[in-house]
Amino acid sequence: MVRINRRGNAVIAGRGTPGSEVTVRAKDEVVGKASVDDRGEWVLVPEKPLEPGSRELSLEARSKSGEVKLSENVVVVAVPKPEKAVAAAAESGEGARKSESDDAGPSQVIAVLTPRKGGGPSRVLQGAGQKVDDKAAAPAKTSTDPTVDTVDYDKQGKLVLSGKGQPGAKLRAYIDDEPAGEVEADKSGTWTLKPKEKVAAGRHRLRVERVGAGGIVLGRVVVPFRRSAPGELRLAAGEVRITVQPGNSLWRIARATYGDGVLYTLIFNANDRQIGNPNLIFPGQVLTVPRPTTN
């Protein structure tokens, strides 16, 4: 669990082997340390706020015997600069227009859980549509309707869906009105579904419904998407626009373009008019890939 407010104050928590010590790092910098209690739980409230910008948080646990283990996943976080955070919180009707002098920094707090090696589906911990109180790093109340947070593909090209819903909610997914599977949200309200059938190239309509007794629909979300024919990501020298291919993510595109997946926030910010969620991009989208800025 990662919760960060716009000032960079954070609460980070997880599970581990009782009695071990967990260290949270941002590359070589130690963000903080915490001890795992007898229930296998730990909580860390860093003494210093996270500075504006993007970074990758990783975990390592040291047991009483001295054995060190690394977490399978990392969390990529982006904290906005103070002036951008204030502008994002203003909630003006039309939104602020970007000037050419604006840098590529984020305008909201983003936290995405992703495999350490960059493969496999990711999960949005905090991002678009997930508000956090600026006075305390705790999530605000959200709708009971389901959400679709990620649309990804595994190595075999099969669809991998994930999102949020009421804990214990029964969900049914449909692609082009054809049943794609059923899943139950876990106790944290997270769900993941891997439809058995592959999705053909072309435009599609994803519908996820929360159902009650007797199959009554209690809430739904509909997400249109387009899948391109399978192909490799190609980036020519100086090219600034790419077409998203099946299996691509902002993390993978940034790693191929800049050599560092953490810089995916540059691409997210440059395409925020068509990307409402940093981990929700669709095959067939054409994205602008800006040149990285130097600090």
In the chain, what are the domains? 2-126 (2.60.40.10), 147-227 (2.60.40.10), 241-288 (3.10.350.10)
Instruction: For residues 245 and 247, give the distance between their C-alpha atoms in angstroms, rounded to a whole number.
Output: 6
Instruction: For residues 86 and 94, give the distance between their C-alpha atoms in angstroms, rounded to a whole number.
Output: 15
Under 8 Å CB-to-CB from 65, ≥6 apart: which residues? none
What strands, in cross-sheet order, belong to the sheet with 2-4?
2-4, 10-15, 41-44
Q: Are 95 and 108 in contact (CB under 8 A)?
A: no
Please report the pLDDT score of residue 108 as a whole number.
73
Please report the pLDDT score of residue 42 as a whole number.
92
Please report the pLDDT score of residue 179 as a whole number.
93
**pTM higher than 0.75:** no
Q: Residue 135: CA atoms inside 13 Å, Cβ hemisphere, count?
A: 0
Please report the pLDDT score of residue 96 as a whole number.
39
Please report the pLDDT score of residue 138 as a whole number.
41
Under 8 Å CB-to-CB from 84, ≥6 apart: which residues? 105, 106, 107
**pLDDT, mean of each 10-residue run, the chain (295 residues):** 87 91 90 92 91 87 90 85 57 39 56 71 64 42 69 71 88 93 90 86 85 88 70 45 67 73 74 68 71 53
